[in-house]
């Protein structure tokens, strides 16, 4: 179910899906303490209530510090982290999740992801561990990341707790229609990382023309397209200006013809493609 809530200055209505704000703040590459804490503080003050991190980002401690120092209750923040493939064996996954709780200085996670279905990932063993983590109250929801439609279907068949989200690269240059359809089929929320294709959408003529029509940035167009296609976005931004600019995308509503034009972009560009990815 999609609801609207207001945070920050109250001027932006934030769509939420089952408690998860559809515009979140990603913390990839924010490994410097001061930069990370300052950026998250700005994000929370701006109105963001969905924060996304991962153990491999090496910043969980800083994320937890920023949340603890923020002028909002922990219950207002939807906090997600991920377990790296090296730690996905049953016992390792349990230990890693408890380590994340300690690092983040929190009693629970809102969402815990399998970061990649690779290396130590074993569908039966890993997902059994994630089910146990829900039972023990470590996390309220479990998710997967970078799971192909086939791997997603398999994961959904194996867990007792429902798979809440599948996080993967998604933007106008990599729209992932089949992945989004698979999420819809299984009642899973799609979450997009790299939602502006690491700034490559700035060079796409269709995006630029639509941005000029609305007097907004190409980044805002990309984020609005994702939201209106029922995809949650977690853009990463370090500067206060970009954090606020992304937030303002919530005020942009694209026309159906504009959405269709973006759907019709033929350029394809994948920004994240490690050798262990399931499609390689």
| Dihedral of alpha carbons 68, 74, 79, 84, sign | positive
Closest CA to 171 of 100, 108, 220: 220
**121 in active site:** no
Query: Which of 48, 57, 62, 121 does the annotation list as catalytic?
Result: 57
Q: How far is CA 31 from CA 37, 131, 192, 235, in A?
A: 10, 30, 21, 16
Cβ burial of 274 (10 Å; 0-12, 13-18, 19+) is exposed
**Which residues are CB-contacts of 212 (< 8 A; sequence separation ≥ 6)?**
none
Tokens in use for 216? 């907004």
Cβ burial of 92 (10 Å; 0-12, 13-18, 19+) is middle
Closest CA to 267 of 220, 178, 208, 205: 205
Residues known to be catalytic? 57
């Amino acid at each position: 179910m999609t609801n609207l809530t207001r945070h920050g200055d109250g001027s932006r209505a934030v769509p939420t899906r089952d408690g998860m704000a559809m515009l979140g703040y990603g913390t990839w590459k924010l490994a410097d303490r001061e930069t990370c804490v300052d950026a998250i503080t700005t994000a929370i003050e701006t109105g963001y209530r969905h924060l996304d991190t991962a153990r491999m980002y090496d910043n969980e401690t800083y994320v937890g510090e920023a949340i603890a120092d923020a002028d909002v209750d922990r219950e207002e923040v939807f906090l997600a982290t991920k377990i790296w493939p090296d730690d996905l064996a049953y016992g390792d996954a349990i230990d890693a999740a408890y380590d994340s709780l300690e690092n983040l200085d929190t009693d629970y996670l809102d969402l815990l992801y399998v970061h990649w279905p690779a290396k130590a990932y074993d569908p039966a063993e890993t997902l059994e561990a994630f089910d146990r983590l829900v039972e023990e109250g470590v996390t309220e929801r479990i998710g997967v990341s970078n799971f192909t439609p086939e791997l997603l279907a398999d994961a959904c068949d194996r867990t007792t707790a429902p798979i809440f989200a599948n996080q993967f690269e998604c933007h106008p240059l990599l729209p992932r229609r089949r992945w989004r359809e698979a999420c819809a089929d299984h009642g899973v929320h799609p979450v997009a990382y790299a939602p502006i294709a690491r700034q490559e959408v700035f060079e796409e003529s269709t995006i630029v023309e639509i941005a000029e029509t609305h007097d907004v940035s190409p980044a805002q167009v990309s984020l609005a397209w994702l939201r209106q296609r029922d995809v949650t976005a977690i853009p990463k931004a370090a500067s206060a200006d970009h954090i606020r600019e992304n937030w303002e995308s919530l005020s942009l509503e694209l026309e159906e013809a504009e959405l269709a034009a973006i759907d019709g972009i033929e350029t394809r560009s994948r920004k994240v493609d490690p050798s262990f990815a399931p499609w390689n």
